[in-house]
Amino acid sequence: MEHRIKKTEADYARALERLEAIFDSDATSVHAEELELLALLIEKYENERFAIGMPDPVEAIKFRMEQLGYKQKDLAAAIGLKSRVSEILNRKRKLSIDMIRKLHEKLGIPAEVLIQEY
């Protein structure tokens, strides 16, 4: 079966149907290469059509704090005073480069997310 770049919703739907039909093929089957190619073509289409933007920096910090069970006092070492943490989480103060570095290290949030305007 010949495959081309998916440009329409119909192309995408057909590719998904074909992928589902051959999905359980093992790595040595005649469909292995087709499966890999379809997955790449589908991924390209989805990345172009359904792109997800970066999260808001403050929301990313809050989300990660919740995941780790952190309170504001837990970030005071990375950001400075507890009151400074509060100012940042309430969007009254911007993150400095030093804070971004420390939050990246402490929380594991990508620096690209933290440096965005908010």
CA angle 64, 66, 72 (to 5 degrees): 90
Between CA 54 and CA 112 the distance in angstroms is: 8
| Contact present, 61 and 108 (Cβ < 8 Å) | no
pLDDT digits 0-9 by tens, 45-94: 999 999 888 999 999 999 999 999 999 999 998 888 999 999 999 999 99
CB distance 115 to 100 below 8 Å: yes
* Predicted TM-score of the model (pTM): 0.62
Q: What is the pLDDT of residues 10-37, one digit of tens each?
A: 999 999 999 999 998 887 788 888 999 9
* Contact indicator for 102, 61 with CB cutoff of 8 Å: no
Judge whether residue 1 has pLDDT over 80.
no
